[in-house]
A and B are shown apart, each in its own frame.
Chain A
Amino acid sequence: KAGVTQTPRYLIKTRGQQVTLSCSPISGHRSVSWYQQTPGQGLQFLFEYFSETQRNKGNFPGRFSGRQFSNSRSEMNVSTLELGDSALYLCASSAGQDYSPLHFGNGTRLTVT
């Protein structure tokens, strides 16, 4: 069974630009969550999508948005990039039940210059 796939693996963007990250969950998983990992703040929850609907949202500004498609693939968009957005962005999928473990991809490393 293929794991969670995130593309691209690395991105370099300039301040003010926008970026879109992609995540393909494990086959059959309907829940996709996004996390940001930085050395200073650690891992922080961004949002979760289930069956194309945002179910939960973390404490991030509106520049961070996402969506989920009917095949459960998800995209995350960050507009008007800031230097502080440089981070490893991790996507996790799960079957969606309360006791389903989260399975993470290898992440997209975003560098904003």
Chain B
Amino acid sequence: KQEVTQIPAALSVPEGENLVLNCSFTDSAIYNLQWFRQDPGKGLTSLLLIQSSQREQTSGRLNASLDKSSGRSTLYIAASQPGDSATYLCAASSGSARQLTFGSGTQLTVLP
């Protein structure tokens, strides 16, 4: 059974800082790993998807890496802004590409 863990549970940083969010998973037989952000009371916004054969994906100030052998993924956010404040969730798909197992999230606060 896939288990996904995210550390830390909460993070507070000053604006402009670069930061890394961590995600670990127990079953390396994944289809892909996806990162989302969730704003309070809202649904999930897809940020990046890394296929199992890939090592990283980039979108703007975001870079996500995947190391299947160690069961880890990281989300790097460059030059953080107050608008980046949200809960960030990682999710691994195994068994089925659309059956995601989610971590409990990292609540990020970027202070102006």
Contacts and interface: CB of A to CB of B under 8 A. Distances in A.
Interface residues of A, number: 28
B89 A106 contact: no
Contact of A48 (B46, B91, B99, B101): B99
A55 interface: yes
The A contact surface, by secondary structure, is strand
A99 B49 CA distance: 8
Contacts of A16: none
Interface in B34-91: 34, 36, 42-46, 49, 51, 89, 91
A107 B98 contact: no
A104 B43 contact: yes
B43 A107 contact: yes
Given A99-B51, A101-B34, A104-B36, A56 B98 contact: yes
A102 B98 contact: yes
7 contacts: A43-B102, A48-B99, A55-B96, A56-B95, A58-B99, A98-B97, A99-B97
Nearest to A31: B98
B32 A99 contact: yes
B95 to A, nearest CB: 7
A72 interface: no
Contacts of B103: 42
Interface in A78-113: 90, 92, 94, 96-107
Contacts of A45: 99-101
Nearest to B4: A42
Contacts of A102: 34, 46, 98, 100
Contacts of B98: 31, 33, 48, 55-56, 92, 94, 96, 102
Given A56-B98, A92-B44, 10 more contacts: A33-B100, A43-B100, A43-B102, A48-B98, A58-B99, A92-B98, A98-B97, A99-B32, A99-B97, A104-B45
